Chain A
Amino acid sequence: AQSVTQLDSQVPVFEEAPVELRCNYSSSVSVYLFWYVQYPNQGLQLLLKYLSGSTLVKGINGFEAEFNKSQTSFHLRKPSVHISDTAEYFCAVSETARLGGFQKLVFGTGTRLLVSP
């Protein structure tokens, strides 16, 4: 079974500063990795995903993440945040397909990014 750990429940940061949101996972098999963002009172929006290939993945809104297999990590980064990036960020993992379909997503507990002026 997989599990996802997001150690930071809340990350306060000033506008235009860089940020890193940490995600570590545990799995006995190969996985796909995802970051989702949830703005207040909204649904889940995919920021980026790692399925295979280059370990540095670029997503929407200037975010990127790096898959590190040896450290079982998939940290999310942005070089300069905006007020509008204030949201809850969820890391998620899925086993690679057995029959060609995604397995269930297992989510971390989320990290609330608070960007202040």
Chain B
Amino acid sequence: EPEVTQTPSHQVTQMGQEVILRCVPISNHLYFYWYRQILGQKVEFLVSFYNNEISEKSEIFDDQFSVERPDGSNFTLKIRSTKLEDSAMYFCASWPGPISYRNLYGYTFGSGTRLTVV
């Protein structure tokens, strides 16, 4: 079964440093998402991405965050200057998109990257 792949599985970074979280969505999917889960809390939407642009973002997704699909296969989340409160599990997800698939598929989530800011 196709998977969404996220790397690294765990990243430790110092406060103020830039970090890039990487995701490889399923190859024929067109919609991409980032979510985060602060330890012990619920999963929160960050951003959705379609046709090489952001389609929706949450209030969490401020100017410190950016997303990119640099080469047609990877989907990245960049945090420019990490803060302690950015420590969380970050999940990437993808979805095929065309309406004819909607009865067959839901989101597919990756296994996440645990970001620890020290």
Say yes or no: B103 contacts A101, CB within 8 Å. Answer: no
Say yes or no: A51 contacts B103, CB within 8 Å. Answer: yes
Say yes or no: A104 contacts B45, CB within 8 Å. Answer: yes
Say yes or no: A104 contacts B48, CB within 8 Å. Answer: yes
Say yes or no: A109 contacts B42, CB within 8 Å. Answer: yes
A49/B50 contact (C-beta < 8 A), A102-B31, A107-B42 known: no
The 6 A-B pairs of least Cβ separation, nearest first, read A43-B111, A100-B99, A104-B45, A44-B109, A107-B43, A109-B42
CA distance in complex: A115, B31 (Å): 36
Interface size on A, residues (CB 8 A): 26
Interchain CB contact (< 8 A) of B45 among A34, A105, A109: A105
Q: What is B's interface to A at a CB cutoff of 8 Å?
A: 30-31, 33, 35, 41-45, 48, 50, 55-56, 58, 91, 95, 97-99, 102-103, 106-112
Interface centre among B58, B106, B110, B111, by most chain A C-beta atoms within 10 angstroms, is B106
CA distance in complex: A104, B45 (Å): 7
A90-117 interface mask toward B, CB cutoff 8 Å, 1 = contact, 0 = none?
A: 1010000100111111111110000000
Main secondary structure of the interface of A (DSSP, over half): loop
Say yes or no: A104 contacts B33, CB within 8 Å. Answer: yes
CA distance in complex: A93, B82 (Å): 30
Q: Which residues of A contact B35 (CB under 8 A)?
A: 105
Say yes or no: A107 contacts B44, CB within 8 Å. Answer: yes
Q: Which residues of A contact B44 (CB under 8 A)?
A: 107
Q: Which residues of A contact B103 (CB under 8 A)?
A: 51-53
